[in-house]
Structure 1
Amino acid sequence: MPLMRIMIAVSFALLLVFRAMAGEPLALPTGRIFWHKETRKIDANVSGLSLSKVLAKLSRATGWKVYLQPGTDRPLRVKFNGLDRGAALRLMLGDLNYAVVPALTGGTEIRIYQNNPAAATELVVDKNDRSPSKDWLARELVVSLAPNSKLSIDELAKKLQGTIVARSDQMKSYRLRFDSEESAAKARELIEEMDGVRADNNYAYHRPDQTAGVGLDGRGDFTISPTTTSDGCNVVVAMLDTAVQSLPANQAPFLLKPLSVAGEATVDSSKPTHGTAMAQSILNGLNSVTRPGTGSTVRVLPIDVYGNNEATSSYELAKGMYAAVANGASIVNISSGGTGDSALLNDIIDYARSQGTIVFAAAGNAPTTDPVFPAANPNVIAVTASDTQGQVAAYANRGEFVDLMAPGTSRIKFNGQSYLVTGTSPATAMMSGMAAGIDDCAKGADANAIRTWLERSYSFRGQK
């Protein structure tokens, strides 16, 4: 698939705030409101945005619970700087009244109404707020430019007083870091006033646990070999993970030249990396659905999204997804996850799915029902782990977003020693490998057929 075509299509997926008509930017409603924590003053510059949305922004910044009387929402046009709460509310509310009362659970509660405070029953929330996550990188923004934007990201970063710590000119998306959370918040508010620019949150994705060596016998030998078709077809499984080391001689030919979107990694050669374990687990899954002694056109493309860092971020994962699609991946394996729901990553996953790419992601090694991303994206197949009895493993996520459940153990070999890998990571990798085997060029199954086959044997629905 041509890289330019992918770049244009992905860029169009980011056009939520970038729409234009007849070559001219639309006159979209704008709203900037900023809360100064130290002075407890408010700045605002709002033109056409609804009162409820402005109040939602203020609620998010201050922690106040704001209730609005139903039927009183209206477009707001106001501009001021450095006002205290009372003066700011009087300018914003016009003929509406407000009451400030202590909340029963602590903090401040504000009720906005016409005649009776009891009529203010609608809690104002920011439906686009993705920040309440323990993995939120509050000093960072992911800034994306529209395809036709003439803005220079370097000049924009200087204006916003941020530092570009990672960039993708192909995606026109950039990772900016600021000196403080307040500086990042102010930069976000400034971006909301600009045409052709979008600011999204960035989230940390922590490095997966390393594997541990155990004494194992030689069962489960790898019995297939790489092959090609007359038209040179390969089914590519892109694996977004840590760096990959050398694989055993009978598996090494299945590995394509690794890529990295996070810089070169220095790898400890004394034990297998998580990426090495997942690459072998993918091949174990492939081996399980391929007739012994036959060949396979499947290849694994390792994409390092961690480098030497203790954690990656949703931005690097988005870059990895972009690289996977650009390099023709039919299947993408993500054996990691976090609590943050990234808009940029979702855009690229959605585009990949529209092109027929199947994305598998681990549901997480915590016995909760909390969503883990990107597994909880509707266009991702979320995989949890089962125990030896075929039940959901004691350590594994069992949330409503989970689609498949697969055995949570995988046997791998490294430097002559055997290892047993446990968790939703190898379960996910096994599913990716099985899907690749079904998608093998000689079989020609499409995405729907692959999912139907997997759900027939590995559906999690009966466990919910």
Structure 2
Amino acid sequence: MVRRSLVAVIGILLVPLVLSAASLRIEGDRAWLKADDVPLPKVLQLFEQRGVEVLVDPSLTLHRISGDWKNAEVGRLIAQLASPHSYMLEWRSEKSPLGDLFQISSIRIFSDGKQSVACRLSPQGKVLDVVEGENGVQYIRGEIMVGFNQESSIDDLKALLSRLNGTVIEVIDPPGLYRIKLNDDMSVEEAIRIAQAHGGVAATEPNLAFPTIASNILPLTGIAEGINLNLLPGETAIAVFDSGLDPAYADSPFIRGTYDALDPTAEISDPTGHGTLTSLIAAGAITPLGAKAAESGVPVLSVRTLDKNGMTSSDTIMRALEYAVNSGVKIISMSWGSEVRSQFLENTMNFAAQNGMRLYAAAGNEPTGTPVYPAGYSSVIAVGGLNPDGSQWENTNYGNFVERYEPALANFNDLSYAGTSVASPYAAFKAARGVSE
């Protein structure tokens, strides 16, 4: 494994940007749009990329857009884009560290009297648009995250947005960050450089992307306890951040709830099955090989943080943490990791831990001795893996950052899974039941 550092993240993309024939910036009720013979759905996708829900009647014939709108009132702009069809707008006021932001939240385009038939422009099942810098650091295309000094004002934010031709698509508070969408004519690297030099900015990072720590899939191994789907849960809940949950298990007595942090409007799903496995382990419904089956379970909040390619991002993890905190969960298990260290994520997890959250994370499935994150953060309990006989699993990561080891093999759906992503939810399960460490 190649050691990577965020310090060197400002690199040239290996994947070149394809310049778009349209660009968009939104600030409050004003918008700047430039389009050169672009189909209206493509223009509307620019609004989606900036956090606006777009619903369109699929039976409509939509035209192509050309024009250059500068500092246009958003309502009038949408009226021109939607013409001759009807439209409806919704707005939201969002609190932020620098002051309230008034932003458009929804656009609906439809035939007269048929607003109910409008459906989402883009289908559910979000896949992160991950690109890679020349040093191997991965992040989300066209997005940066910015934190401001305490003495900064909303005018500092507006001035930066003007320089970047960018749009705030999300406020994450805590820790007080602005997620900013760029147009294709500005790279993440250039935006980072501008933000670092901008007055009032305390710190900035790309919206980093991280891979799952996937379990190794093996032929069925050993004798397991089977799945206990009738296990009654106790009081202390665990949030499992992984690939989601198979809806077939959503009504199990130990599933407290579900949430898709990638796409909060989507129904829960699990495109890989990994999140279902880890959720069942955290609940006690699946017992890892070498462990003793429990007589009582743990309520689990299954949170989807990984897309079908096994990738997550800084904003997704922060959104998941906020949801878990607001749901009253005190223990979290995470099965993703990277050698890239994010100061923003570290601050977020430190804040969660300081407010009573216990964070567990898989230590990694490569025995390098090098920390992976989030397991390597001081506020997170890194969990390594054991064989069923209690010996150290040969593929577990190790080192001073690993605080404990738990069984790393489990059977599920006629296969065996081996990895520290089995050990982490089991450590969280034991913590929730008050089992001595």
Matching residue of 1:174: 178
Give percent identity, aligned residues only.
Answer: 22
CA–CA distance in structure 2, aligned partners of residues 136 and 318 of structure 1: 17
- Which structure has the highest strand share of the two? 2
- In structure 2, the residue matched to 1:189 is 196
Q: Which secondary structure does the structure 2 equivalent of 1:225 belong to?
A: coil
Aligned pairs for 1:16-55 (under 5 A) are: none
**Match of 1:419?**
415
3-state secondary structure, aligned to 1:256: strand
Match of 2:429 among 423, 430, 433: 433
Tell me if the contact between 1:363 and 1:396 (Cα under 8 Å) persists in the aligned partners.
yes
Kindly name which structure, 1 or 2, has the bigger radius of gyration based on alpha carbons. Answer: 1
Quote the RMSD (CA, aligned, Å). Answer: 3.7
Which AA in structure 1 matches 2:146? Answer: V
Between the aligned partners of 1:308 and 1:272, the Cα distance in structure 2 is: 6
Letter in structure 1 aligned against 2:423? A
* Partner secondary structure for residue 279 of structure 1: helix
Q: Work out which of the residue numbers 133, 137, 140 in structure 1 matches 2:139.
A: 137
Q: What is aligned with 1:240?
A: 241
User: Which one has a larger percent helix, Structure 1 or Structure 2?
Assistant: 1
Q: Which residue of 2 aligns with 1:74?
A: none
2:232 corresponding residue in structure 1: 226
One-letter amino acid of the structure 2 residue matched with residue 377 of structure 1: Y
Hey, what does 1:382 align to over in structure 2? Answer: 382
- TM-superposition CA deviations, 1:281-327 (whole Å, max 9, x none): 212389667753xx45x311112223456521233212222222222
How many pairs align? 297
Q: Report SS of the residue matched to 2:425.
A: helix
Residues 290, 437 of structure 1: 8 Å contact kept: no
| Cα distance change of structure 1 residues 137 and 152 upon mapping to structure 2, 3 Å threshold | farther
Partner in structure 2 of residue 151 of structure 1: 154
| Residue of structure 2 equivalent to 1:340 | 340
**Deviates further, 310-319 or 155-164:** 155-164
Following TM superposition, by how much is the alpha carbon of 1:258 offset from its aligned partner in structure 2, in angstroms?
1.1
- Give the alignment of 1:278-427 within 5 angstroms: 278-284=278-284, 292=295, 295-296=296-297, 298-307=298-307, 310-412=310-412, 417-427=413-423
8 Å CA contact 1:382–1:403 kept in 2: the answer is yes
Aligned equivalents of 2:267, 2:310: Cα separation in 1: 12
Structure 2 letter corresponding to 1:194: G
Report the AA paired with residue 177 of structure 2.
Answer: S
Contact 1:133/1:339 (8 A) holds in 2: no
2:53 aligned partner: none
TM-score of the two chains, using structure 1 as the length reference: 0.55
Q: Indicate if the aligned counterparts of 2:254 and 2:299 stay in contact, CA closer than 8 A.
A: yes
In structure 2, the residue corresponding to 1:235 is in which secondary structure? coil
- Whole-Å Cα distance in 1 between the matches of residues 317 and 153 of structure 2? 26
Shift of 1:189: 2.4
Alpha-carbon distance in structure 1 between the residues aligned to 2:218 and 2:233:
31
- In structure 1, how many angstroms separate the alpha carbons of the residues matched to 2:245 and 2:400? 32
Aligned-residue offset at 1:163: 4.4
Question: For 1:291 and 1:396, how far apart are their aligned partners in 2?
Answer: 25
Deviation string 1:53-105 (CA, Å, 9 cap, x unpaired) is xxxxxxxxxxxxxxxxxxxxxxxxxxxxxxxxxxxxxxxxxxxxxxxxxxxxx
List gaps (5 residues or longer) in structure 2: 1-9, 12-132
**1:431 partner letter:** A
2:147 aligned counterpart, secondary structure: strand
Equivalent residue letter for 2:417: V
C-alpha distance 268-169 of structure 1, shift in aligned 2 (>3 A) = closer
Unpaired runs of at least 5, structure 1: 1-33, 36-130, 229-233, 439-449, 455-464
Change (3 A) 1:153 1:396: farther
**Pick from 192, 208, 211: which aligns with 1:206?**
211
The verdict on how the C-alpha distance between 1:299 and 1:339 changes in structure 2, with shifts beyond 3 A counting, is same
